[in-house]
Amino acid sequence: MQVFERLDLVLEGVDDLRFTSGLWLDVFVEIIEPLLGSLRDVTRLALSARPALRALGGQIETVDLLALEALRVFRPEIFMALHDARVTLTEPQSYYDRSDKAQSQAAIDQLLKTAGPDAEIARAAIRRLFPAARTYIENNRYGPDWVNSWKREHRVAYLGYLDLYFGRTAPTDLVAFQQSELAFARMSDPSAFEEYLRSLPVDSLEPVITGLETYQGEYPAQSVVPATSTLLNLIADIPERRNRGMFDLMRPDIVVTRVVIRLLKQFPDEEARDAAVREIIANVHSYSSQEVLIRSVGRVEDPNNALISAECTAELDDAFLHRVLETPSANPDREWNLFRVYWLVAERQQEAYVAPTLITPTEVRALLQSASSVARSQSDGTRHVREEVRLAWDGLVRVSGGEGKLMEAVQRLRRADGETALVVLAEKYAAGWRPEEF
């Protein structure tokens, strides 16, 4: 009892501690208690751990912190070995991963060797704190699906929290997830949710919205409609990252729709989802975001994956087509995929298609920007990735009603914007230039 009384003193006056009682007994018995030889050791641990708990107790599970602090104080060699093996300790193992794990296994073997006579304590630390590494000491595997759980529970099993503990400075991905937590906490209040997201630097929006995927299955049902509308209206604000890797296929619209799909899955039946999507689309401000909503939840390649009924999809598609034909976008500066919107209408209308007038430079700019893409290639023998901006020129000609009308629109843009890269590129295409195939 004296042991727990003295440890309780560590926690006094520390606000907002994250303490999970269900974790405590196993961690104490298997990791902390074997390191305590006397009440003096308990006092030493209490005094040494208090700064870490004051600094991080509101961000990292307290049970994990006490276990790591006990190892730091009484077995610094094991503590340093944990630091050196931190990536291996926190890297989940996919069931389909057949890559060579010899280096990772060697890191764990070195950790156990360093522990020497206390190897069982090191094994307990792996079992209780770093389950991803259990595959190296027993027949037990934790896959990538567990990462979101460790994030939500603020366990050091997630590398971001472990690095926060070791460095006392939050790594970038952890900062983003902490912002995702704050956004999720506001989701029940639509105004607060939108206000918080719009208060963030635009470069933070993509990782913060991505972090909301972590809460799949936990979204408040009453928040699904307003949160989805807010996220769809934010797509235009998320900057496209030009430095994406060759195989990074994420785009701002994909980042958002991944969360939107998870939000709508909160409603278990199709009828409820139909009603929700009808309400959502009425509050989405751009044609681009309206179209991606219908496409993501209804107009999918495999009808078995649709979240709304075929009847609802047809109804929304017809209403969308009518709106685009009848009224130019009220927010052309928010149209992040205007080219696709007009292309879809042209495909549906075929010979009856009437091209938009494209009077305002804002609409012309939005059309050209959304029809541009970056082609990337990499030659043999070099790491350099070559990039080239291209336009979907033939598609632009079609949706504009002919090359003559398209060039009239480009000239209106030139008069408004001057000789921008977008204008020059369009004029090159009009003059007959076409990119070489990589």
Query: Band of the pLDDT at 97, cuts 50, 70, 90?
Result: low
Report how far residue 424's alpha carbon sits from residue 24's, in angstroms, rounded to the nearest whole number: 65
Specify the higher pLDDT residue, 185 or 384: 185
Q: Does residue 349 lie within any of the structural domains?
A: no
Question: Taking 80 as the threshold, does the pLDDT of residue 376 lie above it?
Answer: no
- Whether 175 is covered by a domain: the verdict is no
Same domain? For 26 and 151 the reply is: yes
Percentage, residues of the chain above pLDDT 90: 66
Domain identity same for 154 and 236: no
pLDDT higher than 60, residue 427: yes
Mean pLDDT of the chain: 89
- Looking at the fold, whether 111 and 163 belong to one and the same domain comes out as yes
Q: What is the pLDDT of residue 438?
A: 43
pLDDT(39) > 90:
no
Query: What pLDDT, on the 0 to 100 scale, is given for residue 162?
Result: 94
Grade residue 383 by pLDDT with cuts at 50, 70 and 90.
Answer: low
The mean pLDDT of 319-338, rounded to a whole number, is 94
pLDDT band at 168 (very low <50, low <70, confident <90, very high): confident
pLDDT at 154 over 70: yes
**Which residue in the block uniquely carries the two structure tokens 């366990």?**
155
Confidence check: pLDDT of 98 > 80: no
Question: Residue 155 sits in which domain range?
Answer: 2-167
Which of 167, 193, 218 is the last residue before a domain boundary? 167
Given pLDDT bands bounded at 50, 70 and 90, which one contains residue 16? confident
Q: What is the pTM of this model?
A: 0.72
Closest CA to 128 of 22, 51, 222, 41: 22
- How much is the pLDDT for 394? 95
Which is more confident, 220 or 175? 220
Q: Do 41 and 153 fall within a single domain?
A: yes
Q: Is residue 345 part of a domain?
A: no
pLDDT, average across residues 154-163: 94
Regarding whether 220 and 249 lie in a shared domain, the answer is yes
Give yes or no for a contact between 44 and 9, defined as CB atoms under 8 angstroms apart: no
Q: Is the pLDDT of residue 256 over 50?
A: yes
pLDDT of residue 393 exceeding 60? yes
Range from 3-12, 240-249, 315-324 that averages highest in pLDDT: 315-324
- Exposed / middle / buried, residue 247 (Cβ in 10 Å: 0-12, 13-18, 19+): exposed
Confidence at residue 141, expressed as pLDDT on a 0 to 100 scale = 85
Q: Is the pLDDT of residue 379 over 70?
A: no
Q: Report the domain count for the chain.
A: 3
**Is 295 within a domain?**
yes
Task: Say if residue 154 is in the same domain as residue 193.
Answer: no
pLDDT at 343 over 90: yes
Mean pLDDT across the stretch 409-438? 91
How many CA atoms, within 13 angstroms, populate the side-chain half-sphere of residue 325? Answer: 15
Last residue of a domain, one of 167, 191, 212: 167
Of residues 17 and 281, the one with the higher pLDDT is 281
**Under 8 Å between Cβ of 161 and 60:** yes
Specify the higher pLDDT residue, 322 or 17: 322
C-alpha 359: how far from chain center: 37
- Tell whether 258 and 148 lie within a shared domain: no
Question: Has residue 170 got a pLDDT over 70?
Answer: no
Same domain membership, residue 403 and residue 327: no
Of 336, 367, 400, the domain-final residue: 336
Statement: residue 250 has pLDDT above 50 = yes
Q: Where is pLDDT greater, at 167 or 340? A: 340
Average pLDDT over residues 205-218: 91
With contact defined as beta carbons under 8 Å apart, do 239 and 202 qualify?
yes
Please check whether residue 346 lies inside any domain of the structure: no
CA atoms of 363 and 322, how far apart (whole Å): 19
pLDDT at 246 (0 to 100): 46
